Structure 1
């Protein structure tokens, strides 16, 4: 088995990831739980969120299960998750790999993986999910695609310029620094499916956020490509400085940068599959 990929292991990056990465809408988690309920009755004892990062996709599961375990390969991400003050009492975090989930056989009602499965050996991950799931237990794989920025006022001329700036940065300056697995975000997990009969793909959700310009810049700073760029070009000016200056120029912002907002939109995919009964 290949060694686990660790692109988000630095403590500083874990902090940036927690602060700026978007959270999936609550309706996504409701959809997952409703799918589980179709063939399995409460009480649901255990859910495991694999690739949990600082726990944004772990904590929303807590109301539906007796216990929820978040698993991540990064010690820094787990440390950030544990430190969160809004952790429910039934949530626990463990360091571990997606291909060797640190829970016993036939013990889990639901396994989730949000915005992380493209970093795994997917065949090995699915095999281990099958090991840990109870009969009729479910696997839910979620991801959001690339964000498209726009103004909050619906200015189509500014929208076009913002999107050109965004894509030139994403595909141009950052293009050489993306891992090949980024294609799975570009195509919104088109190459993934859950290997259980009757599995489904739900594309009905969208992630929409109105955030300040500094938060938009913070989100870009959390990209794995940005971390790779900064590591390989430690003496170069941070390209986000010029990006922000051009963004403010396009917006024609007259207020303080901290009060200027943009809207980000991205498609969401939810893959759902159920382990067969015995």
Structure 2
């Protein structure tokens, strides 16, 4: 059913976390699910439809401005975009340095910029980032400012973001996730001109099909050690991330914008100051 009477929620990234978020905030709204793998988007849209939600599925490549603009145009056919969630991305074990920067860093910045132009006054958005941004350590104020404010199309031309300056895929991922939170801060100023809000969440290990693969894959001991030694002593669930997202996107979170919420069961705290600290392994 198309028409202008519906509020529209756009989800990029058809995974478990995004699904959990839109189930919490999507009642009575039209949910647009978009993914680089259309079959994944269609499956999530089917699950939503069979659970009583109104939904549509589309292809999107978040590293392509043309693809994002096409998604926005299609989404606006159902109504005004009032909520936006990005849960798309690739991991260090999935992709090359170049692809991580193109999708996780540039793609997220592009989404923030383009959806900030069209989100309805009073709307809100959430970027699902990662605890990895907190593992990067200290970077210079100049680099932080450049990642936050450089025009999107010039981001990957920054000297310190060139592929030959990045050690490995984990380093690329950490830089990307730090950039996510910095871009959210900068974009929140622009979104605020229409009283719209944007925040990010940096989850730790959240049980999804991908996380289960990692927990049983070649690096399983690393991940299992993280869970065993962190304060929470376990992994998180998509519903726990969705609970935070619901707060951030609801009237209860109306005073929160430009913020990043680290929720990793204390893994980062333990990495810097506890049993997971590299200092304790020497």
- TM-score grouping bracket, smaller chain normalisation: 0.3 to 0.5
Higher relative contact order (CA 8 A, sep 6+): 1
- Structure label with greater radius of gyration: 1
TM value normalised by structure 2 = 0.43
TM value normalised by structure 1 = 0.44
More helix by share: 2
More strand by share: 1
